[in-house]
Structure 1
Amino acid sequence: MLLDTFGRQAVDLRVSLTDRCDLRCTYCMPEQGMTWLAKPTLLTDEEVVRLVRIAVTLLGVREVRFTGGEPLLRPGLVGILTACARLQPRPELSLTTNGIGLARTAAALRGAGLDRVNVSLDTLDPRTFQRLSRRDRHHDVLAGLTAARAAGLSPIKVNTVLMRGINDHEAPDLLAWCLERGYELRFIEQMPLDPQHGWDRSTMVTAAEILDRLSTRFTVTPEPAGRRGSAPAERWIVDGGPARVGVIASVTQPFCRACDRTRLTADGQVRNCLFATGETDLRTALREGGDDPRTDARIAELWRAAMWGKKAGGGIGDPDFHQPERPMSAIGG
């Protein structure tokens, strides 16, 4: 198992397949000037599958979420999903995406074994979308959501980051829109993971503010205690139920005590926390060990050691907190 000194077990693996993206969201990337990971450093499709297999069969991982950057830009995604869906025990397979490519790929992804999908959508206004993402692709995201539902991916979760003075007034409209279509909306506090290191806590829309905005149109009450488990989102019952809305308060109400995640970057580095400042290199061990049957066991030991050293929390707000050098786009959500 992947245990740490605080008794937490990592059973949820986040796998970044690329650091590239076809949007340039203001809270995630600069408009230009990004330095991408060099292709030779990236894990091959076969290496991704092998590391996932080690995690599932040797380390107790039960859920695998593919992220980016934008994972739909990975040419071999369908093959990776197909191979991972054949693992025993079979992990739950999910994807976090900006949704732009879903209209053309959702059916194939579902056929390959994808179970569910999270789609980023910060606004219902195409002009605001262009302002936030620096791309005119709002219609593609909406079409992707429709295609995901038609393909049978379930649940479909919509991830929204509110920006003060830009889209924070849309919170009730976004919730109404998602409820009407059967999507599960989750608001996420903006985190200090931008490459510019320009995050300012005072400009972040907090979980409390999000709930205040929702309360102008809906009655939201917290779910009964004990139902959250290790989920990052605290869920709220909308108008008496059964509908729910989630709020991920990573900054103002960290949920580190129940964290069950381990992360693998596109270049084969294990990160035991989203805000970790250190990494463990699995790619080198994988490539140097080749097909030697002892290599998988060696990698499993490296992975266990990496997770054993996990800190109690991410440390946002601590006097000695330092933002990771890698931005979110290169870590994987």
Structure 2
Amino acid sequence: MSASVISPVNPSSSADALASRPRALIDSFNRRIDYLRVSITDRCDLRCQYCLPEDFKGFEEPANWLTHDEMARLIGLFVGFGVAKIRLTGGEPLTRRGVSELATKIAALDGVTDLAISTNGTRLARHAAELRQAGVRRLNVSLDTLDAATFKEITRRDRLQDVLDGLDTAHRVGFDSIKINCVVHSQSNEEDIARLLDFTMAKGFILRLIETMPMGDSGRQYKHVNLNEMGARLGERYGLVATVEHRGPGPARYWATRDNIPALGLITPMSQHFCASCNRVRLSVDGTLYLCLGQENQISLGTALRKGATDDELRQLILAGIAAKPERHEFTTAPERVIRVMAKTGG
């Protein structure tokens, strides 16, 4: 499927379209879209080798970044369509000023039941308390290893202790859930991952293993491994059992302890894709709505907003975008298709 950019619908048809708009966003494959991931910056203070080249310069110009008020306006329109789960992402979202203020605006929206943030953790110690107070209830923290030298090799930065300090602070201020996201590929060391699982189980966190995806040149240089097989090995080693009880808004499948505490999650976009149950879309820092992580289908909500589009006209564009959401990604059949880096859309 070729990339698709949705153009604004004729405003004269606005009244009819809005009068008949659904209470929920249902795409053409009968999937309900109730989860919005919002990248509030594509900048990051790490340079993970599978995500960003060391010398990457292709970031969005700050003049094109949506303001927090503009983001809150667009998010509010999605919430009006029944989107109840919002996740703030990046790049690294905590590199942008005012994240807690934006979170406060989102948490106050009638209909938001789940507000979360994904972070690399380097600045979490500084911001954890204010995020919790602002209404963020769940955290995902990227961490691929507990070995300082390996961490520096992967991220090209010596920041492991900052991440560990951030996790300690986040745990202390009492988030409802803290999950550790670990990207796994053919060069990953399973014993290193096992040590990470020891750490997360001792802390009461959940470790989630994610198959690397061929996004941009950085992502395509790594070969994915089948996490179903690794998950089974780790599950047997740690006495875990597969469960469907702890499914969240995302695609992870979980393994739990014998006393039913979730401990290990698997996200398998390559070996066992979950497109048939996809419930999410992504909004980038410039207001581009991406309909699929593994496709280039998009709609320029930010451009329309800054050209003076009314809320009704923006709702029309959202509906047109959801109608054009593709059936599935093409990571396995056309891995060269997605040229944008992961930081562009926030995973």
- 1:303 pairs with 2:326: no
Question: Is this contact kept in 2: 1:223–1:237, CA < 8 A?
Answer: yes
1:188 maps to what in 2?
210
Distance 1:86 1:208, change over 3 A: closer
Secondary structure of 1:94 counterpart: strand
Q: Is the 8 A contact 2:124 2:167 kept in 1?
A: yes
**Aligned counterpart in structure 2 of residue 266 of structure 1, from 272, 285, 288:** 285
1:85 to 98, 102, 107: 107
- Map Cα deviations across residues 67-105 of structure 1 (whole Å, 9 max, x no partner): 000000110211101111111123421000000000011
Aligned equivalents of 2:201 and 2:183: distance in 1?
18
Q: Which residue of 2 aligns with 1:315?
A: 330
1:276 alignment counterpart: 295
Structure 1 partner of 2:273? 254
* Structure 1: distance between partners of 2:218 and 2:282: 22
Paired position in structure 1 for 2:197: 175
Deviation at 1:238, TM superposition (A): 3.5
1:117 to 139, 157, 165: 139
CA distance in 2, matches of 1:159, 1:227: 16
TM-score normalised by structure 2 residue count? 0.88
Report what 1:325 is aligned to: 339
For the residue of structure 1 that corresponds to 2:66, the secondary structure is coil
1:164 equivalenced with 2:183 (yes/no)? no
Pick from 157, 182, 189 the counterpart of residue 135 of structure 1.
Answer: 157
2:228 corresponds to 1:208: yes
SS of the residue corresponding to residue 237 of structure 2 reads coil
For residues 316 and 166 of structure 1, do their structure 2 counterparts lie closer, same or farther at Cα, with a shift above 3 Å needed? closer
Cα distance in 1 between the residues matched to 2:280 and 2:234: 29
Shift of 1:231: 3.3
1:288 aligns with 2:317: no
Count of residues in correspondence between the two structures:
324
Structure 1: 5+ residue runs without aligned partners? none
Question: Which string of whole-angstrom CA distances, capped at 9 and with x for unpartnered residues, describes residues 140-162 of structure 1?
Answer: 00011111111111200100012
Question: Quick one: distance in 2 between partners of 1:189 and 1:220?
Answer: 20
Residue 23 of structure 1: how far off its partner (Å): 0.4
* Corresponding residue for residue 232 of structure 1: 251
Q: In 2, Cα distance between the equivalents of 1:209 and 1:34?
A: 37
Q: Does the Cα contact within 8 Å between 1:62 and 1:91 map onto a contact in 2?
A: yes
Q: CA deviation at 1:194?
A: 3.5
Distance of aligned partners of 1:246 and 1:197 in 2 relative to their CA distance in 1, 3 Å threshold: closer
Shift of 1:229: 7.2
After superposition, the C-alpha distances for 1:12-57 in whole angstroms (9 at most, x for unaligned) are 0000001100000011111113321111111111111111111112
Across the aligned residues of Structure 1 and Structure 2, the Cα RMSD in angstroms comes to: 1.9
Cα offset, 1:216, TM superposition: 6.4
8 Å contact kept, 2:210–2:266: yes
**Distance change (3 Å), C-alpha of 1:75 and 1:227:** closer
Q: Is the 8 A contact 1:230 1:258 kept in 2?
A: no
Instruction: Write the distance in 2 (CA, Å) between the matches of 1:31 and 1:218.
Output: 37
Q: Percent identity?
A: 39
**Matches of 1:198 and 1:88 in 2, distance apart?**
41
Q: Aligned equivalents of 2:166 and 2:256: distance in 1?
A: 27
Q: Any unmatched runs of 5+ in structure 2?
A: 1-23
Q: Secondary structure at the match of 1:84?
A: helix
Matched, 1:34 2:57: yes
Question: In structure 2, the residue corresponding to 1:80 is in which secondary structure?
Answer: helix
Give the Cα–Cα distance (whole angstroms) in 2 for the partners of residues 92 and 119 of structure 1: 17
Paired residue type of 2:343: S
Is 2:181 aligned against 1:153?
no
